[in-house]
Amino acid sequence: MERILIIEDNKTLAKLIAKKISTELNFEVDVAFNLSEAKLFLKMYKYFIVLVDLNLPDAPNGESVDYVLKKGFRVIVLSGNIDKEFRKKVLKKSIIDYINKSGVNDIHYIISTISRLKKNQNHNILVVDDSMLYRKYIKEMLENLFYNVITVAHGEEALGMLSSNPDISLVLTDYNMPVMDGLELTSEIRKKYNKNELSIIAISSTEKEEITALFLKNGANDYIRKEFSKEEFSCRVNNTIEALENIQIITNHSNRDYLTGLYNRRYFVRTIKGYMKHTQESSESFAIAMIAIDNQNSINETYGKDNSNRVIVDASEVLRSNINHHDILASFSEDEFCVVLKNVNKESALDVLQKLVEEAGNSSISIDNNIVIKYTISIGASMNNYDTFDEILEEADMMLYNAKQKGTTQVIFN
């Protein structure tokens, strides 16, 4: 488990922050009440971040911040000093944030900030700027916020990087660049990625309002003028990433079955049509299989709805864990699934489907009073020997019907 160190001489406040962090964020938390104690902790452990009070009994003038930074730890400063000039001076250091100790809301802010930093580790950001110094400056700020950062010098290089790194969440692009400027780059990116997939923030020193408008009209999510403050930059980047996460959560919910987490029928049909177009161009063969849990109504009546749902979830896990990661698996109804086995012939597809039947038959669900529920599945399948998806699916569905008629627990493959 990762650790956080709090260096704070107000024991009540330190213990309160520590309790909130360990309870809500699942970190191990150490507390030091002065710099001498903190030095011992810093020798013993690696820390995700260190929360540092500026005024400690043995470090009254912010020496604690410089010491922790020198040791290579990321720092959030805690202070009761609200003087604007003093705050500005501290923010020039390589700290994550400066938080006033004024009340409960500040503790909530600490919790949300740490939570955001933890999530930031899952995001890759592409920085595009022809100035090496500016690229380095932005990269350091982003890495201090726990982002993974890639830097390139111009727009064409950025497009190549996006092609080879499809998991980039955000592009930060300068406006004035040779070969392809930031506005052209934004337009090119939006031809391939919409705002639900990738965010763009433009950065420029120009004062022309029409440039801001043009960036936003061409698909940028936000616009930052150069000479920005560290706090403004951090807030805009974090807010943009958080908005992208929220959109992806909503999109994911709309594409997934609520019980099993598998793709739902609507998403499956949309995806398979694109895949079929690809196979027609590449002559790649594939199989579609309809899969049903045998006697699911009987399981429901005998063991109840909750246990019946547990069988459905278990069956979905059996299917998911015994097909290739590039295959497409979806929940079609309460007790039926559909899978596309990509780039297979009939013989190799049959081997996979027979293994699914075998693995399901070996699985079981333990419930109260040492009762064990056993279940089986039946499968109907068809190769892509038809012109449309509907025709292939109809054939697979007919094969599933035949399998059930012949006694279940088997594969019928046309």
Q: Using alpha carbons only, what angle is made at residue 300 by residues 295 and 301, rounded to the nearest 5 degrees?
A: 100
Q: What totals of helices (H) and strands (E) does the chain contain, helices first?
A: 15, 18
Q: For residues 38 and 119, give the distance between their C-alpha atoms in angstroms, rounded to a whole number.
A: 26
Of 111, 117, 80, residue with least CA distance to 95: 117
Q: For residues 115 and 129, give the distance between their C-alpha atoms in angstroms, rounded to a whole number.
A: 29
Q: What number of other Cβ atoms are within 10 A of residue 115's Cβ? A: 13
Of 220, 151, 167, 158, residue with least CA distance to 190: 220
Q: What pLDDT score does 248 carry?
A: 86
Residue with tokens 């029409």: 210
pTM (two decimals): 0.72
Q: Are strands 371-374 and 364-367 parallel, antiparallel or unpaired?
A: antiparallel
In tens digits, the chain (414 residues) has pLDDT values of 899 999 999 999 999 999 999 999 989 999 999 999 999 999 999 999 999 999 999 999 889 999 999 999 999 999 888 778 888 888 899 999 999 887 778 899 999 999 999 999 999 999 999 999 999 999 999 999 999 999 999 999 999 999 888 899 999 999 989 889 999 999 999 999 999 899 999 998 877 778 899 999 999 999 999 888 899 999 999 999 999 999 988 887 888 898 999 999 988 988 888 888 888 888 889 999 999 999 999 999 999 999 999 999 999 999 999 999 899 999 998 889 999 999 999 999 999 999 999 999 999 999 877 889 999 999 999 998 877 888 899 999 999 999 988 888 999 998
Q: Where are the alpha helices (DSSP H) in 145-291?
A: 155-164, 182-192, 209-217, 230-255, 265-282
Q: For residues 111 and 238, give the distance between their C-alpha atoms in angstroms, rounded to a whole number.
A: 15
Token pair listed for 248: 């992806």
**Which pairs with CB-CB distance under 8 Å and at least 24 residues apart come from 357-364?**
357/409, 357/410, 357/411, 359/318, 359/322, 360/315, 360/318, 360/319, 361/409, 363/314, 363/315, 363/318
Q: What pLDDT score does 282 carry?
A: 83
Q: What domains are there in the chain, each with its CATH number?
A: 3-116 (3.40.50.2300), 121-255 (3.40.50.2300), 263-413 (3.30.70.270)
Tell me, what DSSP letter sits at residue 74?
-
Q: What pLDDT score does 157 carry?
A: 93
Q: Which residues, at least 6 apart from 45, have a Cβ–Cβ distance to it below 8 Å?
A: 3, 5, 30
Q: What pLDDT score does 408 carry?
A: 83
Cβ atoms of 388 and 277 closer than 8 Å: no
